Structure 1
């Protein structure tokens, strides 16, 4: 039988008989085979495309994960240090030794806001009157501090207590002081009229003795013994810390250097917060921004005492003489704050 093939089948590469028979079969069955091939090819490419899409989705998912991880990494770099897992006991407990009319309420407001952000507690002592104590009261104070769940800031107005004396580790002590004369004047009028926030209608100070009267008449409240008030907070519990003398001054300086993480200054409050951020970032990262926000809100103005009658130069001169030791301590603390700022390269 003679096989009839199309002319294109006579190509030299297709001259052998087997090839011709195969081509003839394909030619005759082209419709069925073509359909089958098209279906197979369609299935093949469909599966290939699906595989490609899947791979693309995996790559896309990986890319999203990489992007997310990068973003989280950047966020972590910007976050303050807030984990206390690797900190020692002393770094996770702070005592704020609070002194009247030195800006303590402002600092407490800042710490309360930061505590909500960084999960530390601000604990106020129930005892504000007992500043110097016998041994048993000191032990009770140490116990009360140590029983708190860390991390925390414990605030109390107390003369310095040396925790190691009672077999306890030392917490980090901080405090604030102020220009001695300004503090005394503020305290004098605060006792009589409160402040703007608590007694907004008490601005008439004419009915009570002025600061001049207190100083020039040498009334007990303005005597040398009774204006020696800040140094004992840093000197300690010894009886010698409560009377004006050089030993008390030098002991207070020594404790500031050895046992206080920082003593800030109200007149240098911006610097104080900057140094606290550098020294104790777990608590104070961002403190400067929080402080500025509080000032902008007008809250700090509510803490100010009514100024009363302006003191005379004679009264100021006399009182400065009585505050000589306090001024020496104040200048010492200011100088130390400036040194820390310089060492930490804070602008």
Structure 2
């Protein structure tokens, strides 16, 4: 249950999944780096987020991370990168997951938030503004009208910043087999990567359990994580929060869930693993919330 002992590199590699609370988690790591005295490194903002990398780029990434002075943390939106296939020592892999349907709703409104495009235009002035009708379209209408954006077709492959349906992609890897949406193959590869390589995969909906497991399984980096998080929870919760996201009716979510079967199974797999890790600690008072 504890892959931390298998790591050959004292570097935490957080290949963060978008819209799972990863901005807050990254800020937690930054503050812990000052408290627990480790280096903090993150990828720079990109015009187009490159999640899947060709083998030479994977090697370049793994070599760069391996070159950091230890102990350190590195944070990047990227698929699982297997350092050992390049004969490099494995880092301490961590990540977070979220209910897949809640996550896709969050992403839908995130890319429509006014401040999102203000930030993008400031960073990249030549980026064109989107169609106002697209910005105003709500998720429920998108689903009920069967709009292309909200159909979530099994086996479909779509690259680019607009497609963040596949939470499994960040655990499956860079291979072509990982790209089709909601497939058994991608899900099974993602599960195997979590079991074999990841020290901890936290769950956004179960923060207490996540922080407790991190503190006990990776203490050098996460000592005091619960205290730091909850003492400053109001500040953390403001990071990347989208005030423009309206509530979505449960019957709409149920429609979407029918097309997220393998993504949901992978999410539940990660939840069960976290629960088992927590139980294995045999703490006097345990929580799974």
TM-score by length of 1: 0.68
- 3-state DSSP class of the match of 1:175? strand
Residue of structure 1 in register with 2:123 after alignment: none
- Structure with the greater alpha carbon radius of gyration: 1
> Structure 1 residues 227, 302: closer, same or farther in 2, change over 3 A?
closer
Q: CA deviation at 1:303?
A: 2.8
Q: CA deviation at 1:307?
A: 5.2
CA separation in 2, counterparts of 1:139 and 1:206? 39
Residue of structure 1 in register with 2:200 after alignment: 262
Moved more, 209-218 or 256-265: 209-218
Query: For each residue in 1:119-166, what CA deviation from the matched residue of structure 2 results, as whole angstroms up to 9, or x when unmatched?
Result: 101100236511111111111111111121111110011111111111
> Structure 1 residues 127, 168: closer, same or farther in 2, change over 3 A?
farther
CA separation in 2, counterparts of 1:273 and 1:257? 19
In structure 1, list runs of 5 or more residues that go unmatched. Answer: 1-86, 200-204
CA separation in 2, counterparts of 1:331 and 1:294? 29
Return the match for 1:291 from 205, 226, 229.
229
Q: Write the mapping of 1:194-209 to structure 2, written as runs, cut at 5 A.
A: 208-209=136-137
Maintained 8 Å contact 2:104/2:165: no
Query: Is residue 2:70 matched to residue 1:150?
Result: yes
Q: Write the mapping of 1:187-198 to structure 2, written as runs, cut at 5 A.
A: 187-193=107-113
> Structure 1 residues 277, 312: closer, same or farther in 2, change over 3 A?
closer
Q: Write the mapping of 1:46-61 to structure 2, written as runs, cut at 5 A.
A: none
Higher helix share: 1
Runs of 4+ in 1 over 2 A off after TM superposition: 87-91, 216-223, 225-228, 306-315
Q: CA deviation at 1:110?
A: 1.5
Maintained 8 Å contact 1:194/1:306: no
Query: Is residue 2:159 matched to residue 1:241?
Result: no
Moved more, 155-164 or 226-235: 226-235
Residue of structure 2 in register with 1:219 after alignment: 147
Residue of structure 1 in register with 2:130 after alignment: none
TM-score by length of 2: 0.81
Query: For each residue in 1:295-323, what CA deviation from the matched residue of structure 2 results, as whole angstroms up to 9, or x when unmatched?
Result: 1x433134322353432444222211121
Query: For each residue in 1:250-289, what CA deviation from the matched residue of structure 2 results, as whole angstroms up to 9, or x when unmatched?
Result: 1101110101111000001111010001001111111000
Query: Is residue 2:204 matched to residue 1:276?
Result: no
Return the match for 2:254 from 317, 321, 329.
317
CA separation in 1, counterparts of 2:59 and 2:134? 46
Maintained 8 Å contact 1:195/1:305: no
CA separation in 2, counterparts of 1:97 and 1:152? 14
Query: Is residue 2:104 matched to residue 1:184?
Result: yes
In structure 2, list runs of 5 or more residues that go unmatched. Answer: 120-132, 157-162
* CA-atom RMSD in angstroms: 2.4
CA separation in 2, counterparts of 1:135 and 1:318? 38
Residue of structure 1 in register with 2:191 after alignment: 253
